[in-house]
Chain A
Amino acid sequence: MGTLKFLIEKEFKQTLRNSIIPKLIIGYPIMVMLIFPWAINFEVKNIKVSVVDHNNSVYSQRLIQKVDASKYFIINNITSSYNEAMIDIEKNHADIILEIQPSFDKNIVKSKRADVMLSANSVNGTRGLLGNAYLSQILNDYSAELRSELAHTGVPSRQKMSFISTIPQYKFNKNLDYKVFMIPALMVMMVTLICGILPALNIVSEKENGTIQQINVTPVNKYQFILAKLIPYWIIGFIILSIAFVVVGLLYGIWPAGGFLPLYVSSLIFIIGISGFGLIISNYSATLQQAMFLAFFFILIIILLSGLFTPIASMPKWAQIVAHSNPLSYFMEIMRMIYLKGSSYSGIAAPLLSLLGFAVGFNMWAVLSYSKSNN
């Protein structure tokens, strides 16, 4: 135990004396939490619509106003020629064409059918698809509105219409705010980058400086050496997360619904695991360049296949298998559950156990792959 004290002391002195790392520890979580929740956002807004109005009636104009009033759409152009609207699409001035047929007003009163045609530019698939869906929603609303108006004004209707309406209820994230969804994931990403890459570079830089040789001729114990390397990163991870929790709470009013304790417990397990992973990389690399490349290679893969940006359920089968052997996906799941759903230990038990497995596995590998002799 005595040796460990001296080794940890050394790691802390070196870390604090580093010209970048202490600043990074404070600055990074604040910056990430300040900027990214706004930027990384999959909500589709400001869809540009070119309207081709062949009808030009009171009804068609009310529809156009309704579309314009929605926060999702910007009316780009109102014209009477479909070709002109197509040119807007080609020039990327419009995402969707809403074509209102000449018989729109007659049909909507007579047969309660809205004669419109939607054409979406699918170059940006998400935008086109979602725009289409939103626009259809507005059309439905509008026709329902008209129907009830007409019913009041006494225009005879042949039969009573029965409605089946679906009203979605979003639990845990009531307003479907993307920020709420992304924030726990961003915290995970941040911890992965800092606690995964920095240890990877640590041992390798000792190899490059030659200092590791001086350590290797001492009777230092492998476990103590590895532990002394890891403990500072565990603490750094905790500091980063704590700063992020506070920034998010103060800025967005989002506090972990499941309390801090399960959050810290699962974070500790994840940080132990991912820093062990970093050490494995450094044990196998001879130069900083190799370690950098290996670290980025793997961290890119585990971030993209973790469910951070795209849901795991919609990945192809093979990618789902990769995602399920990815510690990041489990931690992401836990973070979202604790932060948004307020899950307790029983709720997160399964992913937590998986994380524990990764932590044990990675660290055993790290200790085994660290060799005190050259061959």
Chain B
Amino acid sequence: MEDNIIVKVSGLTKKFGNFTAVDNITFNVKEGEIFGFLGANGAGKTTAMQMLIGLNKQTSGEAFVAGYDIRHESEKIKKNIGYMSQRFSLYEDLKVWENIRLFAGIYGMKDKEIAEKTDQLLSRLDFEDERNTLVKSLPLGWKQKLAFSVAIFHSPKVVFLDEPTGGVDPATRRQFWEMIYQAAEDNITVFATTHYMDEAEYCDRVSIMVDGRIDALDTPTNLKAQFEAKDMDEVFRKLARKATRD
């Protein structure tokens, strides 16, 4: 089932001087799955993700996203992905609908299509009253939901989420994961980093990075069996203990 692979990474490495942030990682992400990209702070998750989306250049190794080579086809990759960064990065001084319109426009959607889809989105999120609210006055949970909605608005093949639920309350986190499942049902592959081990349980497959390497990669059920752990939290702690980086 080679043709079902949407992200294909082999031997990807990133060095900053003497420091190897990402150390020879190899993995595949299948189309339509929710792939959890786990690791402690500083394990190299964000750097690895930034190489895949063209924000950073790799030192060696290769990777293909949506069939395009990250070395010289990053602009083509960018047409086919969505990204939600660790730090909220929509325009705070634009209104909710203006942010949606801007990014949809950049991805080449037409005015009419944007307007229709915006209406659908806002009613699905029960967010119609906030249409004209400046984004800076939204509560954090709503900001994150909006950022995710903007990242998948243009129906990308893959959406990359960098710690999407950081600092968000448990109820909103739940709603957020419902949105992620919805996206996966719409055949958008989800590639997410997270710190919350309960969230790791929601993923189809999980990789765990330690010191720039991928030390484990499987379904949560198999990982728990392999490490004889009762939950993902224990798996993670057993692996993280091996870390030598501060």
Binding site for B on A (CB under 8 A): 2-3, 5-7, 9-10, 13-14, 17-18, 209-211, 213-220, 372-375
Among residues of B, the one whose C-beta sits closest to the C-beta of A17 is B93
Known A3-B106, A3-B108, A7-B106: A216·B55 in contact at CB below 8 Å: yes
Contacts of B57 in A (CB 8 A): 373, 375
Interface string of B89-101 (1 = CB under 8 A from A): 1111110001001
Contacts of A217 in B (CB 8 A): 53-55, 78, 81, 83
| Residue from B79, B81, B83, B90 within 8 A of A211 (CB atoms) | B90
Shortest 8 CB-CB contacts between residues of A and residues of B = A6-B105, A210-B89, A217-B83, A214-B89, A219-B78, A219-B79, A210-B87, A218-B106
Known A373-B55, A375-B56: A218·B107 in contact at CB below 8 Å: yes
Complex formed: what's the CA distance from A10 to B78 in Å?
20
Given A13-B93, A219-B108, A374-B55, 8 new contacts (CB under 8 A): A6-B101, A6-B106, A7-B102, A7-B105, A211-B91, A214-B83, A217-B53, A217-B81
Binding site for A on B (CB under 8 A): 50, 53-57, 74-76, 78-79, 81, 83, 85, 87-94, 98, 101-103, 105-108, 110
A-B residue pair count with CB separations less than 8 angstroms: 80
Among residues of A, the one whose C-beta sits closest to the C-beta of B105 is A6
Contacts of A7 in B (CB 8 A): 102, 105-106
Complex formed: what's the CA distance from A59 to B194 in Å?
99
The answer to whether A373 and B89 have CB atoms under 8 Å apart is no
Among residues of A, the one whose C-beta sits closest to the C-beta of B82 is A217
Contacts of B106 in A (CB 8 A): 3, 6-7, 215, 218-220
The answer to whether A372 and B54 have CB atoms under 8 Å apart is yes
Complex formed: what's the CA distance from A5 to B110 in Å?
11
Contacts of A219 in B (CB 8 A): 75-76, 78-79, 106-108
The answer to whether B55 and A218 have CB atoms under 8 Å apart is no
| Residue from B74, B85, B92, B93 within 8 A of A373 (CB atoms) | B74
Complex formed: what's the CA distance from A2 to B94 in Å?
20
**Distance (whole angstroms) from the CB of B22 to the closest CB of chain A:** 14
The answer to whether B107 and A213 have CB atoms under 8 Å apart is no
Contacts of B103 in A (CB 8 A): 214, 218
The answer to whether A13 and B94 have CB atoms under 8 Å apart is yes
Contacts of B53 in A (CB 8 A): 217
Complex formed: what's the CA distance from A137 to B89 in Å?
70
Complex formed: what's the CA distance from A6 to B114 in Å?
12
Among residues of A, the one whose C-beta sits closest to the C-beta of B99 is A10
The answer to whether B54 and A10 have CB atoms under 8 Å apart is no
Among residues of B, the one whose C-beta sits closest to the C-beta of A224 is B106
| Residue from B81, B85, B105 within 8 A of A214 (CB atoms) | B85
Contacts of B102 in A (CB 8 A): 6-7, 9-10
Contacts of B56 in A (CB 8 A): 373-375
Contacts of A14 in B (CB 8 A): 91, 93-94
Contacts of B98 in A (CB 8 A): 10, 13
**Distance (whole angstroms) from the CB of B194 to the closest CB of chain A:** 19
Among residues of A, the one whose C-beta sits closest to the C-beta of B98 is A13
The answer to whether B88 and A3 have CB atoms under 8 Å apart is no
**Distance (whole angstroms) from the CB of A148 to the closest CB of chain B:** 76
The answer to whether A209 and B92 have CB atoms under 8 Å apart is yes
Q: Which of A9, A218, A373 has the most CB of B within 10 A?
A: A218
Contacts of B88 in A (CB 8 A): 210
Complex formed: what's the CA distance from A219 to B102 in Å?
13
Complex formed: what's the CA distance from A133 to B78 in Å?
72
Contacts of B74 in A (CB 8 A): 373
**Distance (whole angstroms) from the CB of B214 to the closest CB of chain A:** 22
Complex formed: what's the CA distance from A14 to B135 in Å?
12
Complex formed: what's the CA distance from A13 to B95 in Å?
10
Contacts of B105 in A (CB 8 A): 2-3, 5-7, 9
Contacts of B54 in A (CB 8 A): 216-217, 372-373
| Residue from A5, A213, A375 within 8 A of B89 (CB atoms) | A213
| Residue from A13, A210, A218, A372 within 8 A of B85 (CB atoms) | A210
12 contacts across the A-B interface (CB closer than 8 A): A3-B108, A7-B106, A10-B91, A209-B92, A210-B85, A213-B55, A213-B89, A214-B90, A217-B54, A219-B75, A373-B54, A374-B56
